Amino acid sequence: MKNRKLLMIPGPIEFTPEVLGAMGLPTTSHVAPNFINVCGEALELMRQVFLSPTGQPFIMAGSGTLAMDMAAANLIEEGDGVLVVNTGYFSDRFAKIAQRYGAKVTEVRASVVGDVPSADDVEKALKSGSFKIMTLTHVDTSTAVCVDIKKLAHIARSYGVLSVVDGVCSVAGEELRQDEWGVDIALTASQKAIGVPPGLALVMASPKAMEAFRNRTSPVRNFYADWNEWLPIMKAYEERRPSYFGTPAVNLVWALNVSLKQIGEEGMEKRVARHKRISRAFKDAMRALGLKQVPLSDEKSATTLSGVYYPDGTDSSLLKHIGDAGVIVAGGLHPQIKDKYFRVGHMGAVNGSDILSTIGAIETALVKSNYKFDKGRGLQAAAAILE
């Protein structure tokens, strides 16, 4: 018997047995020839996942927040203008990080939770100030809202502003074509759609972002994240040479190599299509059960996770009932609606039976909470999409 519950939160996610197997390999030296090769390959494979043949990849020991910190530390100098396209909790975090490095931060927000700022509002904000960087949260994990990166990155570039995309909940799940869309930095963490246990911060920087970094006139105000230290290390691994600045997370890099190869075998288009299909199955199921979602429309919804309001007469005790039925989902995160909704992550290696199990557990929990609905309606709606 598998004595564990299905983990359906927006990271960490369920990992493949091959990835978990790599975590258990004997740890080598960080300059062992086989590790140098594995890390060099992982850097090369990152370009395929980010669809960024011209990008400079960085693999660091740390969480997604370090990836955000690294982007800010290396690009921002005292007094630089940063426009934060704010869609929730993690956009707030980017604003705080930018301020820490001395940026003058302006925010453009949607008026209600679940909405995204319009392209017009973003353009107006860009016009009305002087900005070096615009940050975007591709999928805001607190609201399950997704912004149109293609459109907004294009607008940023037309104003000569660097676009920095927090893709922690999107890279390797949502469609993101870094080079084609002119995204200057895309970043993520290992434990989300890229499918590796927590502990790696992953950053891809465009040639324009690297140029802005080289043009700095003041030192990088973060010792650990300084690209002056890490760029030679990343280059050395790609050239299969030994090097050292800080010890890499050897086993995690090994696991990353395995996961990136699995992603490559599936192919990015198929992977994005699978995320869309699973997301649609889940969202249709919630609608069929009469449950409302946080994003205001399907076009503004992520495919890597869903945010669902507790139906009338129920509350966060639903989470415990879902857990008792064998599936772990996450509570609310956005401060304004924290106790009113729950979140379900469906990214990475997720498949149709995972999503059906999750919907089944939610139906079971709804019955326990005395919510009135036609039992099986959610499962039927999802099955219609998955077949």
Binding-site ranges for ligand PLP (CB under 6 A):
10-11, 63-65, 90, 137, 139, 141, 166, 168-169, 189
Among residues 46 and 288, whose Cβ is nearest to ligand PLP?
Answer: 46
- Do 190 and 171 touch, CB atoms closer than 8 A? no
Q: How far is the CB of 33 from ligand PLP (least distance, A)?
A: 31
Residue that the structure tokens 């086993």 belong to: 251
At residue 84, the 3 state secondary structure works out as strand
Q: How far is the CB of 355 from ligand PLP (least distance, A)?
A: 19
> Element (H or E) spanning 115, and its range?
none
> What does each C-alpha distance from 224 to 169, 216, 229 come to in angstroms?
24, 17, 8
Residue nearest ligand PLP by beta-carbon distance: 64
Q: How far is the CB of 166 from ligand PLP (least distance, A)?
A: 5
* Amino acid at the residue 5: K
List the structure tokens of 68. 């955000």
Among residues 11 and 182, whose Cβ is nearest to ligand PLP?
Answer: 11
Q: How far is the CB of 167 from ligand PLP (least distance, A)?
A: 7
Among residues 169 and 278, whose Cβ is nearest to ligand PLP?
Answer: 169
CA angle 361-365-367, nearest 5°?
120
Q: How far is the CB of 309 from ligand PLP (least distance, A)?
A: 20
Q: How far is the CB of 68 from ligand PLP (least distance, A)?
A: 6
* Cα(27)–Cα(251) distance, integer angstroms: 6
> What does each C-alpha distance from 87 to 112, 124, 142, 240, 373 come to in angstroms?
9, 17, 9, 41, 32
Among residues 52 and 170, whose Cβ is nearest to ligand PLP?
Answer: 170
Residues near 110 by Cβ (< 8 Å), separated by ≥ 6? 86, 87, 116, 117
Among residues 212 and 305, whose Cβ is nearest to ligand PLP?
Answer: 305
Among residues 90 and 282, whose Cβ is nearest to ligand PLP?
Answer: 90
